[in-house]
Amino acid sequence: MKLHWSPKSPYVRKVMVCAHELGLTERLELVRSVAAMLQPNARLMADNPLSKIPTLVLDDGFVLFDSPVICEYLNDLARGPLFPAEGSHKWQALRWQAFGDGLLDALILWRNERERAQPLVPLIDAFALKVRQSLEVLDSEAGALAEVPFGIGHIAVACALGYIDYRFDALGWRAQAPRLAAWMAEVAQRPSLKQTEPVDG
């Protein structure tokens, strides 16, 4: 399988964490693909017209995106435990995945805006508010995160927090969300997270 990949993308990181957890990394051929909102990538678009990563091309040519779909596919392939099949654990995991992904969406749009010559201040303020409030809610859920078996919800939240460390270090989120920080300190010890820390280049 061919994965359009970048060491910087937190959504790609979700897929790679799943692959590590599921013992599937050897099955993935990583293709370094640059995906930038303002520069559609023709080579990537041949597989995904949305020009986004992660994009997974299966051996029979069928193409999967986006990260929730690819993560679930890998979990099915390995008959893994990362997606609880039913009941409240299922919805809790999917909600945390949506929460982590949504937090990432806000952070990435925030970063794009702050890099413009004249950022729109109300937009920056709105992203800052959403991120602050999300951290507050996740902090209140740190106990629940620690209680249930590690899965896709934990992966998405951890990748979002890892992205804050990578691109928004100045936020100092740990002071604002100490219980979440303690949870993250433990989860970050997993080899799957250690081996997928974002790097420039």
Ligand X SMILES: N[C@@H](CCC(=O)N[C@@H](CS)C(=O)NCC(=O)O)C(=O)O
Phi, psi of 116 (to 5 degrees): -75, 155
Closer residue to ligand X in complex, CB, 33/92: 33
Question: In this structure, what DSSP letter does residue 148 have?
Answer: S
Is residue 47 a contact residue for ligand X (CB under 6 A)?
A: no
Closer residue to ligand X in complex, CB, 20/179: 20
Closer residue to ligand X in complex, CB, 67/192: 67
Is residue 196 a contact residue for ligand X (CB under 6 A)?
A: no
Q: How far is CA 60 from CA 56, 105, 165, 169, 192, in A?
A: 11, 31, 38, 41, 27
Q: How far is CA 142 from CA 12, 88, 164, in A?
A: 24, 17, 17
Choice from 18, 24, 67, 80 touching ligand X (CB under 6 A): 67
CB atoms within 10 A of CB 41: 16
Is residue 37 a contact residue for ligand X (CB under 6 A)?
A: yes
Looking at residues 77 to 136 of the shown chain, list those that interact with ligand X (rule: CB under 6 A).
Answer: 101
SS3 content of the chain, % helix, strand, coil (to 5): 60, 5, 30
Closer residue to ligand X in complex, CB, 70/142: 70
Closer residue to ligand X in complex, CB, 24/156: 156
Q: Count the residues of the shown chain that bind ligand X, applying the rule CB under 6 A.
A: 12
Choice from 13, 21, 24, 54 touching ligand X (CB under 6 A): 54
Closer residue to ligand X in complex, CB, 36/121: 36
Reported as type and span, the H/E element at residue 4 is strand 2-5
Is residue 9 a contact residue for ligand X (CB under 6 A)?
A: yes
Q: What is the CA radius of gyration of the chain?
A: 17
Choice from 3, 19, 22, 35 touching ligand X (CB under 6 A): 35
Choice from 11, 110, 127, 183 touching ligand X (CB under 6 A): 11
CB atoms within 10 A of CB 21: 24
Reported as type and span, the H/E element at residue 64 is strand 63-64
- Sites of contact with ligand X (CB under 6 A): 9, 11, 35-37, 51-54, 66-67, 101
